[in-house]
Amino acid sequence: MRHGWMARCAPLDREGLLDVLTRARARDREDHLAATGTPFDPHAAAAEIWRTARWAALITDGARAEACVYAVPGAQAGEFLVCINATDGWPRVWRTAVRWLVEVLTPSMLAAPEFRRALAVVVGGEARGVAFAEAHGFRRCAVQVPGSLILERTR
């Protein structure tokens, strides 16, 4: 049995993932539309995450999953994209999500023999997200996407 903060971290399962994505924050849906030109489809997103996630956890508030933290392979060999999808319940789980990211996901990625770099896209360049990423070894990439800030971490 898990105790403390880990008790609020659950292995990824399809139903929990789809539940989080179906209840995704309005802002995340809007950012997806702006970035891709297509409406957010929680079923398609869940299928893709389920198929590609190398490391993942559902973060709960004790009763229901409110976020999913995961890493998927990037476009280049040895590259991983670090992602967080959340619901409006994010304020109740962000500390646990961040802790799982720092204490479980990051060491797992760095230990992977094929790891070259991790990318994190901070949609809207949100100051807190950027500050957090930079405090944990990420740096701003030279190439950027309009409306977002891309950060990378290498060994």
Task: Please tell me the total count of domains within the chain.
Answer: 1
Q: Which domain holds residue 46?
A: 4-154
Question: In the prediction, which pLDDT does 127 show?
Answer: 81
Q: Which residue from 74, 148, 61 is spatially nearest to 118, judged by alpha carbons?
A: 74
Name the E strands within the chain.
9-11, 55-60, 65-73, 79-86, 117-123, 139-140, 148-154
Beta strands at 148-154 and 139-140: parallel, antiparallel or unpaired: antiparallel
The CATH number for 75's domain is 3.40.630.30
Whether 124 and 25 have beta carbons less than 8 Å apart is answered as: no
Q: Could you read off the pLDDT of 43-80 as tens digits, one per residue?
A: 999 999 999 999 999 999 999 999 999 999 998 999 99
pTM: 0.90
